[in-house]
Chains A and B, each alone.
Chain A
Amino acid sequence: MNKKAIQWLYGELPGLVSQGVLTPGAEERLRAHYGPMEPARPARLAVVIFGVLGALLIGAGIILVLAHNWEDLSRPVRVVLSFLPLVLAQGLAAWTLVKCPQSLAWREGCGALLFLMIGASISLVAQTYHISGDLPRFILTWSLLGLPVVYLLGAVVPALLYLWGITEWACHIRWEDGFAGGYWLLAALLLPLLFAWLRSGRYRVRPTLLLWASCVSVTVAAGVTIERVLPGLWIILYSGLFALMFLAGEFWFSEAEGFWARPLRHFGAAGVLILSFLFTFEWPWREIGWHYWAWGRIPEATWRAIPDAVLGSVIPVAAIALLVTTVRRKTPLGLIIGLAPIFATAGYCLSSLSETYAPAAGLFDVYLLVTGLWLLVTGIRINKQGQMNVGLLAVAALILARFFDSDLDFLLRGLIFIGLGVAFLAANLVMLRRKGVAHEQA
Chain B
Amino acid sequence: MNKRNLILIGLAVVVVLQLAVPAWMILERERTLREGQVFKFKTRPVDPADAFRGRYVFLSLEPDAVKVPDAGAWRYGQKAFAVLGTGTDGFVLVKRLERTRPAGESALQVRVSWADNLAGSLHINWQGLDRYYMTEKKAPAAETAYREHSRRTNQDCAITVRVLGSVGVIENLFIEDQPIQAWLKDYKAK
Contact = CB atoms under 8 A, between A and B. Distances in A.
B53 A79 contact: no
Interface of B: 4, 7-8, 10-11, 13-15, 17-19, 21-23, 25-26, 29, 50-56, 75-77, 127-136, 138-139, 169-170, 181
Nearest to B172: A130
A299 B75 contact: yes
A183 B52 CA distance: 23
B52 A63 contact: yes
Contact of B11 (A86, A119, A134, A152): A152
A131 interface: yes
- The 5 closest A-B CB pairs, nearest first, are A67-B54, A132-B131, A130-B170, A129-B29, A148-B14
Contact of A69 (B4, B14, B133): B133
Given A121-B22, A130-B131, A148-B10, A66 B17 contact: no
A143 interface: no
Contacts of B76: 177
A69 B54 contact: yes
Interface stretch (A93-101, A184-192, A409-417): A93-101
Interface string A125-154: 111111111100010010001001101100
Interface in A319-353: none
A141 B130 CA distance: 21
Contacts of B17: 145, 148
Contact of A152 (B7, B170, B181): B7
A71 interface: yes
Task: Please indicate which of the listed interface residues A82, A83, A130, A176 has the most CB atoms of chain B within 10 Å of its own CB.
Answer: A130
Interface in A22-74: 63, 66-72
8 contacts: A83-B22, A98-B8, A118-B18, A130-B132, A134-B127, A138-B52, A148-B14, A148-B17
Contacts of A145: 14, 17-18, 21
Contact of B4 (A101, A134, A176): A101
Contacts of A67: 50-55, 136
Nearest to B139: A69
B25 A122 contact: yes
A126 B25 CA distance: 8
A310 interface: no
Contacts of B133: 69, 71, 127-128, 130
Contacts of A68: 54, 135-136
B54 A125 contact: no
Given A119-B52, A145-B17, 5 more contacts: A69-B55, A69-B134, A123-B53, A148-B13, A148-B17
Contacts of A426: none
A80 B136 CA distance: 21
Given A126-B25, A131-B25, A149-B14, A87 B19 contact: yes
B35 to A, nearest CB: 15
A74 to B, nearest CB: 13
A298 B15 CA distance: 41
Contact of B128 (A98, A119, A131, A176): A131
Contact of B127 (A94, A98, A118, A133): A133
Contacts of B75: 299
